[in-house]
Amino acid sequence: MSKPILDVDSVQAFIAIADFQSFTRAAEALGSTQGAISVKLKRLEDRLGYKLLERTPRQVRLSASGALFLQPARDFIVAHDRAVQALSCECRRFRLGIAEHVAGPEIPTLLARLNARDPALTIEVRIENSRSLLDAFDNGELDAVIVRQEDDRRDGEDLGPEHFGWFAAPTFHQPPGTPLRLAALAPCCGVRDIATRALETAELDWSEVFVGGGHAAVMAAVSAGLAIAAFSCRLAPADTVEVSQRMGLPTLPSSRIMLHSTLTDTRSRDALRTLAAAYREHRTPS
């Protein structure tokens, strides 16, 4: 029995649908139509002899065979791209900004996926607060940024929600009748603004007893029991606990994570699709 010959476009369509869990969004990412990628997926499934995706009116998910095929499919595309790129020595820089309150455990996966997708790409990463990164992006200093959504800005690609909470060390003690001991980033930090607005709305007294020059410094202060802080629920220090209910603190509003870029060339669009897919894939609950 002869082995099936894989078609690059069909495999790319399958990966995009699996990453975005949507035919519509996959088609948009590939610059195609829903009908076209449906045809490509059907062609791939026919050649392999297996159903790769299960589709309902509300959900698209991998079948058992699709889950087994996904990583080899990625490896196939990477090998194809490396073979094509070997004929070109053109190197290019990709300047990426990632907000401090966004940079989490998915970053190594994201960077590895970018490098695998385009080995000739030199990746420069800047990690700062969202506002500084957006200013740098608007000034042309960065090619793309992944940041928390700003209240006055509605452009960009939505990568998903970000939820916040109040965290402290298990040993933290707040003296009765005294202002809440708060650790925060510098005043230009958007998460600090979310936290302080919530406290002011709830008419709770607070005092910043630690102002860090970076996210790691604030995490260290909270872990040491010096104060409490508002963190993304997925990025809070592992040795801290959420204390909203115990301390009667106000609920913090959720935000959205956005990808901004104005790049339009093919290689850049491929890099952006890889960024978005890797970020969403890592955040999707298993």
Spatial contact of 163 and 232, defined as CB atoms under 8 Å apart? yes
Burial of 236 (0-12, 13-18, 19+ CB in 10 A): buried
Residue 122's pLDDT band (cuts 50, 70, 90): confident
Give the tokens for residue 48.
Answer: 């392999």
Average pLDDT, stretch 22-36? 86
| Predicted pLDDT of residue 152 | 64
- Whether 141 shows a pLDDT value over 70: the answer reads yes
For the chain, which domains are there? Answer: 8-85 (1.10.10.10), 92-160+256-283 (3.40.190.10), 164-253 (3.40.190.10)
Q: Are 101 and 39 in contact (CB under 8 A)?
A: no
Contacts of 137 (CB under 8 A, 6+ apart): 97, 144, 145, 260
The C-alpha atoms of residue 176 and residue 178 are separated, in whole angstroms, by 6
pTM, entire model: 0.62
Question: What does the radius of gyration of the chain's CA atoms come to, in whole angstroms?
Answer: 22
> CA–CA separation, 68 vs 63, rounded Å?
9
Check residue 285 and give its pLDDT: 44
Helix 23-30 and helix 266-283, axial crossing angle in degrees, nearest 10: 150
Report the C-alpha gap between 242 and 222 in whole angstroms.
12
pLDDT tens digits for range 150-200: 666 667 888 888 889 999 999 998 888 899 998 876 655 677 888 888 999
Q: Quick check: helix, strand or coil at residue 42?
A: helix
| Type of residue at 258 | M
Tell me which range, 32-46, 84-98, 266-280, is most confidently predicted by mean pLDDT.
Answer: 32-46
